[in-house]
Structure 1
């Protein structure tokens, strides 16, 4: 209905308080409906003109409705569509977009938060939260992306993947890691038992025979095993430490043998000197 007075529009709806000849009843409220949406303004009855129009809803020919300001909902949102949608968009084309799969057993929910880049998807950053889905890489995951590409995800099992869509451990990284320090907890003891008196150390001849047959050290995986299974840092570090400790025992044993040889050499040298002295004495007596 129209409202008489200054700024009369046939598409306006005016709501007035009980008194129009003074301001004690509060403001007049006016709504304007046109092709661009719904606009709202107020003024006291005694004011000479209305306040500025404020747009409260934006509509288009597709039936979409946009709230240009801040929307606060104290309650729930419901409709009868099989996949209810909710979408909010800023002037820079960032968005919050989601749907629920009510009535659709193949997909029960998805929410995306993205920002930047306008309509150019290659420069957008986004966070995707997925409910159950028949699409494996969308099934109950949280995905983080930058520049339009996925960078990190948390899968349905709680595994975190960086640069991979299929993390197979609590943290899977398909790339390099740069760290100041890495701490690895052990599920087994360090190999100090090598220094126990009852430890059976292989002889060097046994080690040589094993290496000649297998082309790698005992208790160390082969090159093919490394290629197939990778390297388990905790196990490998302990295995290498064990070899260092065994090598230390070999060095100690060799050092003892060297010391014994040096003692024997000294005895032989002393004996040789005594023979030389005895020989000179005999030659002198025979003159």
Structure 2
């Protein structure tokens, strides 16, 4: 889950970076399947990753396209520093350029003329997504591809009957965050097809991938569930009943025998949708309009 808007406090960056890393680890196969699916007419040499976070998409793209260079853009200096360190560790630092920028501004930095623009779980964080889409349209090289990848909100981890003392707790916790997300990230879960068309793109293809990963495949899923539910608790707590809040806190208590890290029935269930679009030959507003 990458994001572009304003989270500059170091502690929040650190916590968010951990979730991004776990998301990247757990969903690596699905990300690779998306990069392999992209309807490209030629192998891209210049790629821009908008809202790159700590680099999950950037490194997947570098692996998929061994001749490509990636310009990784994010508002977080901490995330970009981690990305640079990981690029060095992987031996690909010569193929990565990082740019710290707030993409909600009218004037974007020079990002070149990429063959592929990748935006994974970042567009829904834009305060003005229509303006950002128009900027991407002007940015793309002729014939270039724009890939928008979005998750259907936070994944679900627990079975419906869990926890045993408060069945359905996870869904109620998610429901308790609906008002917050409607106000702060109103485009989460949106259909980007019509918005891409309105911004001057032709959507060539789109697909929805169902993610259902059993927890037994790795302990990272437990840490991913813990980190995600802890973030949800921070938003949901005021709207939860005392009984639900107590049950959630028990799941998040790493010293409890009922801790989520001790459960053997975890899974990652969500959906990922990707839209692949090119500039339309007719119409479309220009940058800054």
Where on the TM-score scale, by shorter chain, does this alignment land: which range? under 0.3
Bigger radius of gyration among the two: 1
Higher strand proportion (structure 1 or 2): 1
Query: TM-score with structure 1 length normalisation?
Result: 0.18
Query: TM-score with structure 2 length normalisation?
Result: 0.18
